[in-house]
Amino acid sequence: MENMRKIVVHVTAGTGMDNWEFYEVDPKVERGVIDNFAEEAAIEWADSYGIGDPGNYPDEQDFEDDEDGYSDAIDEWEAASHDWDQVEGSFEDYVPEKHDGYSMTGTPEFQRFSS
């Protein structure tokens, strides 16, 4: 895998539990593709902590015969979306001195990036 660009994708969900993943990327891959990938990774990371997209507001019509269910759904939505503004995904070029400490072993294992 010579001539591959090495990057680090950082995701956070505002929970204090950040994550770093290491990738080898074909240099022809455009920055916007990697940006989108990092943003999607952050959404998945937030979802793993129960932080939901505020755009997924419960539809009252789904609870026509269940007022308590709708109220419960609103409460769950509010609890899950309160940290949404802290969800963030980004990437930067890999620098061993800076990023090796983010690996559990101190030696990162790089995944092959595919869009």
Q: pLDDT digit string (tens) for 42-70?
A: 988 888 877 766 666 667 677 777 778 88
Under DSSP, the state recorded for 66 is -
Beta bridge partners of 6: 24
The pLDDT of 67-88, averaged and rounded, is: 75
Amino acid at 55: G
User: Which pLDDT tens digit goes with each residue over 9-47?
Assistant: 999 887 777 899 999 999 999 999 999 999 999 988 888
Length of the chain: 115
Distances (CA, A) of 107 to 21, 43, 61, 93, 99: 12, 26, 52, 16, 9
Interior/surface letters 86-103, b for 16+ CB within 10 angstroms, e for the rest: ebbbebeebeeeebeeee
The pLDDT of 64-79, averaged and rounded, is: 76
User: Per the structure, how many domains does the chain have?
Assistant: 1
